[in-house]
Structure 1
């Protein structure tokens, strides 16, 4: 809230250079802000009494937006990458998939390893679980199993994350 929108009887006022001006009525605080040709901005509405500051509102909004943008830059996003396998995958193909998963994990992403079943392969789903177990075993030096292998419809999947 700014200027005339502030309806509280009393507010704690902070001057434009950051000094405490004490508790006063919101009308008096608004007059002080007008004399300084600045805005009265409610900074902490939940405080008792609410805290208001005499500042340039446009500059204040710009600073808030800049701080928010800076915080967003420092935030690290973790993506979930998927590696698809089939139950009768050959050794060299499996090694290629393992190398891809290593790349993803080293970049800080999670890896979802999915074993897709087609047709009659569904009858041997539990025997095919060994493919996922081998996959996890080969990556155990850099990754841990976050979510163990589980059947979901016609596929079995598990999630691997970086070791901490």
Structure 2
């Protein structure tokens, strides 16, 4: 259930990409060790994911606890109703390699 903000946003952006292509998105998390004693935190995280992706998807299967896992399936909204909330990060100049005309 412990996830950093940057890691969470990366997962949400990838989820939006899957949904934008018309694919379903299954969100799953696994409890470790003492996290089993506080399963409500996992369900709260699933609700947060559902709310963050609500502009792109609808819940197909509600969050369900199975052993140490919690999973939920999201299906994409029709293309004309989808609204991306987290835009993909643009490529920066640092990541691109430029080649000069003389080959150096």
The reply to whether TM is greater than 0.5 is yes
Q: Unaligned 5+ residue runs, structure 2?
A: 79-104
> Secondary structure at 1:148's aligned position in 2?
strand
Aligned residues: 78
TM superposition outliers: structure 1 runs of 4+ over 4 Å:
none
Q: Unaligned 5+ residue runs, structure 1?
A: 1-86
Residue 121 (str. 1) matches residue 29 (str. 2): no
Rg bigger for which structure? Answer: 1
Asked if the contact 2:42/2:70 (under 8 Å) is kept, the reply is no
2:52 corresponds to: 138
RMSD (CA atoms)? 0.9
Residue 90 (str. 1) matches residue 1 (str. 2): no
> Secondary structure at 2:51's aligned position in 1?
helix
Alignment partner of 2:17 out of 100, 103, 120: 103
Q: Within 2, Cα distance between the matches of 1:127 and 1:136?
A: 14
More strand by share: 1
Deviation digits for residues 81-108 of structure 1 (CA, Å, limit 9, x no counterpart): xxxxxx1111111100000001111111
Aligned-pair CA distance for 1:127: 2.5
Q: Within 1, Cα distance between the matches of 2:45 and 2:9?
A: 12
